[in-house]
Structures are given as C-alpha cells and as structure tokens.
Amino acid sequence: MLETALKGRQGYWGLLIFLLALMGVGFVSYLYQFSEGLRITGMSRDVSWGFYIGQLTYFVGIAAGGVMVVLPCYLHDYKAFGRITILGEFLAVASVVMCGLFVIVDLGNLPRMLNIMIYPNPTSILFWDMIVLNVYMLLNIIIGWNVLSAERKGVHYQKWVKVLIYISIPWAFSIHTVTAFLYAGIPGRHYWLTAIMAARFLSSAFASGPALLILLCLIVRKVSNFDPGKEQIRTLGGIVAYAFILNMFFLLLELFTAFYSQIPGHMHSFDYLFGLEGHGSVLAPWMWASIGFAVVALVLLIVPATRRREDTLAVGCAAVIASTWIDKGFGLVIGGFIPNPFGRVFEYWPTTPEVLISVGVWATGFFILTVLYKIVISVKEEVGA
C-alpha cells in the first residue's frame, strides 16, 4: 500500500515539500538548542516546563480523541463510522509521534534518553506515560494498516485485529489519564493538584480530537474523490458539542472550588492566568481569548441549525481547537508554575527558536499525517468507497 503514497498530484507534493522545509527549519533550530542547551528557550528555574510539555499534553489529547470514532463503531455498532475509523487511527499515530518529539526536544540530555528503560522507576508517571503512548501508537499502526489493506483486498480483516481494536479503546482513555497523572499527583502545585484533572483532560481531548477530525474530513472531501460522509460529520459534530460542554462544565467546577473556598493556593494560578491580581500577566490576553473562542464554539455547537450546517460547524470546530489549545497547550503547564513555590511571579514566554522547533515538530506530525491520509484516500478511491 505504501506505493500509493508515492503517486500524487502537484498539490500533494507541494504540501510535502513545504512541510519538509519547515521540518528543516525546526531541525536546524534544534541543533542550535542541542549545542547551547535549553537556555535558548524561555524556560527558567521557576517555570521549568513550557511550550514543549504543553504541546505534548495537547497532542496526547488529540491522539486519545481518535477513539471517539472507534468506540461508537465497535462498541455501539454504529456502522457509519466504519468508513472513517481509519482517519481517527492515523490521526492518533501522527499525534503520538509529535508527543514523542516534544518530549525529546524538551530533554536536557538527549543522549541519555534510554536511561528511562535501563534504570526504570515504576513510581514515575513519566515512565508509564512513555509505555502507554508507545503501545497506543503501535496499536493504531497495526490496526489501521491491517484494516485498510483488508479493505483494499475486499476481504474482512482478521479476527486478532478485532482483539487489538477492543484493547485500543480503553487504551486511548489510559494515555490521557496517565498524562493527567503527570500533573495531578504533584504536591505543592495547586493548579494541577485536582482530582478532576484526568476528567478535564479527557473531555477536552474528546472535543478537540473529533473537532480536528471534522476539519480533516472536510479537507479530504475537498481534495479527493473520497467523501467521509455527511452523516459521519454530523454525528462527530454532536460528539464535539457534548464533550466541549463537559469540558467547560469541568472548568466551572474548578473555578467554584477555588473561589468559593477562597483558599489562596487554589485561587492564585487562576488569578495570574486571567490577570485578576493587579500584576499584569503576559498570558491573560491568551486565556481570555481561550474563553472567547469557547463562547463562540458553545454557541455554534449548541444551536442545532449552526451545528448541522457544515460551514458553521467548521467554524465551531476551529474555535474548539483554538480554545483547548490555549487552555491546555499553554495555560495549563505554565499556570502550574506561577506563582512559584515562594509565592512569587516569574513569567514565561517562549522564544523564537523554541517556537521554530515546535513548528518543526508540528510539520513532522503533519507530514506523517499527510502521507498516511494519502494512502487512505488512494485505497478508498480504488475500492470506490
């Protein structure tokens, strides 16, 4: 099947070359970081994780979100999704690759990375996160590839693939739960120390993952003869709506606990993130933008008329992605570090090389996604789906 990725129109090659160029820029920036150290980033003694770890967290969510097409299809026998499960699975593969790369670029001492396996520490959540993420990627590659090649040959995929599919469903929940545990079990970082962290992560994942999938489906329809389907997109829209409402509901729960209890530690990070405490915050405009996008998304997704129209649904999905990206890819990690353990505010903002390296990682992810989707499209066109 791989050969189908080698035949494409000009636009396809143009996109790949463009992504390759961005990857090159990212790689050169990384070489600079590798020789100078992480001091070229905006991270500091006080804010010791930043954009990279935020992006890791966000893309674990996108990866987990893919399960929202697999689960209805296989557990509820919702046949319509059978047409697009492969898109969810391959999106998960590309996302996990990005997660891995974001961890790699964040390490201070990359050559020693294998120490995680040579001297594993089972009490470290990072160790478990590495395991669940890698297994999830493998599951999705194997399942996606087998199901797709069976479809191409016009036969039913083998039974053992079905077993893997059933495993992959709870596994998707596990990757984002374990990722939430990176944060939720740390004493002294009040913003993270919340029992609903995993629930918040999952709700935002199940909103942002399918939202991105809807946009990708619309693009696929536009550039190819394969139509993911009107019904499929409409059902996904409903899933995004429910999940995003839950996500905002969970945020309100956090705000209630913090501000009704009036416990300073619980309020401080929110105060800082939304610029409520006098000392200005570089993040405040972003966090308010996140709220703004959320309001737009809620309106467009809740009103049935706008949810069912594909153009307004697309705007709603873009707003979901923007809102959750700021909240989780940015605010979540940084908010946990501010104020610092001494109650002081030391701010963080990513540097240009840091952003360029991140662009390189995104480009790598989208390169992989483009190639995988090209294969899917070629097969689907071939079998006349």
Where along the sequence are the contacts to another protein (CB under 8 A)? 36-39, 41, 43-46, 48-49, 103, 106-110, 112-113, 115-116, 118-121, 123-127, 130, 182, 186-189, 264-265, 336-337, 340-344, 346
Question: Measured between alpha carbons, how far is residue 151 from residues 64, 154, 275, 304 in Å?
Answer: 24, 5, 53, 35
> Measured from the CB of residue 361, what is the shortest distance to another protein in angstroms?
17
> Measured from the CB of residue 255, what is the shortest distance to another protein in angstroms?
22
**Three-state SS across 259-317?**
HHHCCHHHHHHHHHHCCCCCCCCCCHHHHHHHHHHHHHHHHHHHCHHHHHCHHHHHHHH
By beta-carbon proximity to another protein, the closer residue of 93 and 103 is 103
By beta-carbon proximity to another protein, the closer residue of 186 and 282 is 186
Q: What distance in Å separates the CA atoms of residue 232 and residue 175, rounded to the nearest whole number? A: 25
> Measured from the CB of residue 139, what is the shortest distance to another protein in angstroms?
22
Write out the two tokens for 59.
Answer: 């893309």
By beta-carbon proximity to another protein, the closer residue of 119 and 260 is 119
By beta-carbon proximity to another protein, the closer residue of 49 and 90 is 49
- At 342, phi and psi to the nearest 5? -100, 5
> Measured from the CB of residue 133, what is the shortest distance to another protein in angstroms?
13
> Measured from the CB of residue 167, what is the shortest distance to another protein in angstroms?
25
Q: What distance in Å separates the CA atoms of residue 123 and residue 127, rounded to the nearest whole number? A: 8
Question: Measured between alpha carbons, how far is residue 21 from residues 27, 35, 45, 96 in Å?
Answer: 10, 22, 33, 21
By beta-carbon proximity to another protein, the closer residue of 44 and 257 is 44
> Measured from the CB of residue 44, what is the shortest distance to another protein in angstroms?
4
By beta-carbon proximity to another protein, the closer residue of 115 and 158 is 115
Q: What distance in Å separates the CA atoms of residue 70 and residue 161, rounded to the nearest whole number? A: 13
